[in-house]
C-alpha cells in the first residue's frame, strides 16, 4: 500500500504529529511505502530547525528528519502556510527580507500541487490533526 500523510498540527500542539510519526514508522516496518508527507497549516512547525524541546521529551521535527533520511521520504511543507508562520528556507528569507532561514534539513517548501500529485500517486491519504 502506498500512503501519503498530511499533518495539520504543530509537533507539541496536539498528539497528531507524534501519532503520524508512529504511523509512518509502523507502515514502513510493515512493508508499505510512503509517497509523501505533507505538512499543512500549523503542521508546518514540524519543519523548523529551531525546535528545542526539553531533553526528556521527544524531538518530533528531528525524528521526522531521521525517518526521512533512513527511508528516503519526501517531506513537503506548504509554502504559503510556512511563510505565514515564519518558516522559511534561504530563498524565502531573502525574498521577504529576513535575516535568517529556519527550515530544517530534509524538508522542502512547495505548493499544494505537491499534495494533489501525491493523492493521485497514493492508494490512501491519511490526515492527522483537525481542521479548524
Which CATH superfamily hosts domain 2-128? DsrEFH-like (3.40.1260.10)
**pLDDT for res 131:** 62
User: Residue 105 CB: number of other CB atoms within 10 A?
Assistant: 10
Number of residues that make up the chain: 132
Give yes or no for residue 4 having a pLDDT over 90. yes
Distance CA 41, CA 109 (A): 13
Give yes or no for residue 114 having a pLDDT over 80. yes
**pLDDT for res 116:** 97
Give yes or no for residue 132 having a pLDDT over 70. no
pLDDT above 90 covers a percentage of the chain that reads: 90
Asked if 10 contacts 48 with a C-beta cutoff of 8 angstroms, the reply is no
The set of catalytic residues is 78
Query: CB neighbours of 113 closer than 8 A, spacing ≥ 6?
Result: none
Distance CA 98, CA 111 (A): 21
Q: What average pLDDT does range 42-59 have in this prediction?
A: 93
Residue labelled with grid coordinates 497514493: 122
Give yes or no for residue 14 having a pLDDT over 80. yes
H-helix segments, the chain: 16-29, 60-71, 79-84, 90-95, 112-121
Q: What average pLDDT does range 24-40 have in this prediction?
A: 98
Q: Where are the domains of the chain?
A: 2-128
Mean pLDDT (the chain, rounded): 95
C-alpha cell at position 4: 501519503
Q: What average pLDDT does range 96-114 have in this prediction?
A: 97
The string of pLDDT tens digits covering residues 54-86 is 888 889 999 999 999 999 999 999 999 999 999
Give yes or no for residue 103 having a pLDDT over 80. yes
**Secondary structure of residue 34 in the 3-state scheme:** strand
Residue labelled with grid coordinates 521529551: 57
Amino acid at each position: 500500500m502506498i500512503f501519503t500523510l498530511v499533518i495539520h498540527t504543530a509537533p507539541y500542539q496536539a498528539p497528531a504529529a507524534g501519532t503520524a510519526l508512529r504511523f509512518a514508522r509502523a507502515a514502513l516496518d510493515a512493508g508499505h511505502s510512503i509517497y509523501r508527507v505533507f505538512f499543512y497549516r500549523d503542521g508546518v512547525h514540524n519543519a523548523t530547525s529551531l525546535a528545542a524541546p526539553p531533553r526528556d521529551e521527544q524531538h518530533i521535527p528531528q525524528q521526522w528528519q531521521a525517518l526521512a533520511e533512513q527511508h528516503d521520504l519526501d517531506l513537503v511543507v506548504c509554502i504559503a502556510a510556512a511563510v505565514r508562520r515564519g518558516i522559511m528556507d534561504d530563498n524565502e528569507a531573502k525574498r521577504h527580507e529576513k535575516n535568517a532561514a529556519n527550515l530544517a534539513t530534509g524538508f522542502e517548501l512547495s505548493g499544494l500541487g505537491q499534495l494533489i500529485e501525491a493523492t493521485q500517486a497514493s492508494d490512501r491519504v491519511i490526515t492527522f490533526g483537525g481542521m479548524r
